[in-house]
Amino acid sequence: MGVAAAIPDLDRLRLQRAAYAAAANVPDPEIPVVTVGDLGILRGVELDGENRAIARLTPTYSGCPAVVAIELAVEAALREAGFEPVIERVIAPAWTTDWITAEGREKLAAYGIAPPVETGNSRRALFGETLVSCPRCGSEATERLSEFGSTPCKAQYRCQSCLEPFDYFKCI
């Protein structure tokens, strides 16, 4: 392939990256410190030859009212970036909290929400139940106060060391 033929490919790659970034940077409506990219719900963005950007999104919790809000926000972000947005909802494989990126977990903890424990975590397997660390002091002496926190996706915990209550992003 000659240089002349390679240039359109580079343009396409740049556009592809711009479309992906526009979609990935959309904040979660319930926890605005994390983005759609951080949550791992953006499965990909593809461009067709017509300037259409096809964003594939996997809903988090089924029935979560945020699903439609996220789809509309991604659509708006792509349109603002100059693309004709198409949203595709991908339901299989189902999203799990394991898809949340390392950066997303750090952002949740910094915001005061204990990030979900990964399913492959040996401590979780060892104890048979989730060991939730306090996002403020790191103590593992925590107790669950309620199955539901400020949203159905979260549970309410309290740290027995620093006595602060906090939300835990539930594992699925």
Interface with Zn ion includes 160 (CB under 5 A)?
A: no
Tell which one of 134, 149, 155, 167 touches Zn ion (CB under 5 A): 134
| 136 belongs to the binding site for Zn ion (CB under 5 A) | yes
Work out how close the CB of 118 gets to Zn ion at its nearest, in angstroms, rounded to a whole number: 21
Strand partners, 156: 146, 167
C-beta neighbour count of 172 within 10 angstroms: 14
Query: Which region among 12-20, 88-96, 102-110, 129-137 touches Zn ion (by CB under 5 A)?
Result: 129-137
- Residue holding tokens 């740049």? 14
The CA distance from 93 to 43, in Å, is 10
What are φ and ψ of residue 107, in 5° steps? Answer: -65, -40
Which CB, 91 or 110, lies closer to Zn ion?
A: 110
Contact flag: residue 158 with Zn ion (CB under 5 A): no
Question: What is the residue whose two structure tokens read 């159905």?
Answer: 152
Out of 139, 144, 146, 147, the only residue in the binding site for Zn ion (CB under 5 A) is 139
Q: Which part of the chain contacts Zn ion (CB under 5 A), choosing from 50-58, 75-83, 121-129, 154-162?
A: 154-162
> Which of residues 76, 137, 141, 145 is near Zn ion by CB under 5 A?
137
Q: Is 60 helix (H, G, I), strand (E, B) or coil?
A: coil
**Which among 132, 26, 15 has a CA at the least distance from the CA of 82?**
15
Judged by the rule CB under 5 A, the positions of this chain that interact with Zn ion are: 134, 136-137, 139, 159, 161-162
